[in-house]
Amino acid sequence: MSEHHPPLRSYGRLKSRPIKPRQAALVEQRLPELRIPAGAVEPAALMPNARETWLEIGFGGGEHMAAQAGRHPDVLVLGAEPFTNGVASAVRHIDEQGLSNVRLHDGDVRELIARLPAASLARVFILFPDPWPKARHHKRRLVQPETVAELARVLKPGGRLRFASDWADYVDWALARIGEDSSFAWQADRADDWRVPPADHVTTRYEEKRLGDCAPVFLDFVRA
């Protein structure tokens, strides 16, 4: 019998600066009710009247996730982020904006995806994930064939996947691996389709830092 090994972590540190006491208290109060329950995830049980269910993978500080949830109150927005400070920031955004259509997974998104039913999501966002720029670390990148296959499983036909990065090598990597899966069709017809932020995009703090080696690139795919 082969020994089972968990997947390599696709993210780095889990915490940076200490969380301020007031924010820590808010997290302690709100996160238990915002956290996606353990076990099989049934979106209809989390928000019975939701028109659709969306997932943001690695929501960072939660700005994009909260803004999308605010714009689409009839959509259930799931967010996954292992970084403690990011989760605390997201909880604050959710609380301040009075959002009732966001649920959080404070851990590895692959564990959450495995618990989602097939064809349960209408949109997935992967915005500026950890690029793991060194070649020896590429195996830690989130976008791998097995992850792409799982996203194809949980996305509905016609569902949309958006990947964005400001690292040229990761853009090429993602385009190759997602493009290799026949379940996805890239929607670009001209250069502006990947160079210009989509009309519904919300700029994040990380994006504004411009830490990569190229201007932000946006790849939109549709689930066949």
Burial status of residue 77 (CB atoms within 10 A of its CB: 0-12, 13-18, 19 or more): buried
| 174 three-class SS | helix
Cα 155 to Cα 3, 46, 90, 152, 215, distances in angstroms: 30, 18, 24, 5, 28
Cβ atoms < 10 Å from Cβ of 52: 16
Tokens of 199: 């009309």
Catalytic residue among 74, 95, 106, 130: 130
193 is known as an active-site residue: no
| CA 162 – CA 175 distance, rounded (Å) | 11
Where in the sequence numbering do the catalytic residues fall? 130
